[in-house]
Amino acid sequence: MSPAALRGALLSCLGLALLCLGGADKRPRDRHEWKKLILVQHWPETVCEVIQKDCKNPPDYWTIHGLWPDNSENCNGSWKFFTSVPSKSCLQLWGHECDLLPEMKEYWPDLIHLFPNRSSFWNHEWRKHGTCAAQVDALNSQRKYFGRTLELYRELDLNSVLLKLGIKPSINYYQVADFKDALARVYRVIPKIHCLPPSQDEEVQTIGQIELCLTKQDQKLENCTEPGQEPPPRKEVWLAGGGTESRGLRVCEDGPVFYPPPKKAKH
């Protein structure tokens, strides 16, 4: 082979190798990869306003929506959840650890469904988010997932933090910055706050959900967004069915925000 031909063959091989390497870099990522966890808490009064169903006497404190991996859902459809609580299924899955159930009923209630089978909301959260969180040893069973979520809820104690900083439900409006600055001062991270946009007869947005982000392996607080970074909107809204989707949660806009007081229970 002549020097020119040899040189051409080598260049062709090099080009093919580079093409292959470039293709390797563009291989699709595992759709179940995720980097952080998000502890999501919602304000029951706002949830009931959105759903507008038979939401009787909602709690007057922030409750758990879920513990979500940031970029992964529905990782194992075959990993079933027990279907009724309390039941033999619970005992079979969790043994004597069914003692979690009273706390789950109190701090992780189903505010979303009209006639809730008490476990339907937990079933949804486990199958959509828990099966992905189970990549982490500390969350790799139903008992661990729900137990650790309750631990984080207690440790971070959002309800007490807001009250101690003088942020209470009120007919007077707050500024979104009041929430952001207060939470950042206590937790030393940037949270993400979601609001319900105002309807036609409302003046301002209504606070609905607060997210605190955590590291994957040891569940330590970290920024949900970096300083100056705009938080991307999440796709998940409260049971976006029956026309409620148009009023789903959005990242709060800077400005006034309504933190609605709980309505008095009807007797």
Given 42, 45, 49, 125, the catalytic residue = 125
Given 45, 49, 129, 194, the catalytic residue = 129
Taking CA atoms, 18 is separated from 26, 29, 36, 37, 81, in Å, by 13, 20, 34, 37, 47
Given 45, 49, 65, 236, the catalytic residue = 65
Is 32 noted as a catalytic residue in this protein?
no
Is 125 noted as a catalytic residue in this protein?
yes
Is 103 noted as a catalytic residue in this protein?
no
Most distant CA atoms of the chain, gap in Å: 98
Query: How far does Cα 82 stand from its chain's mean position?
Result: 22
Taking CA atoms, 216 is separated from 39, 47, 190, 191, 251, in Å, by 12, 28, 17, 16, 23
Q: How many CB atoms lie within 10 A of CB 15?
A: 10
Residue found by looking up tokens 């609580």 in the block:
85
* CB distance 186 to 165 below 8 Å: yes
Q: Name the residues annotated as catalytic.
A: 65, 125, 129
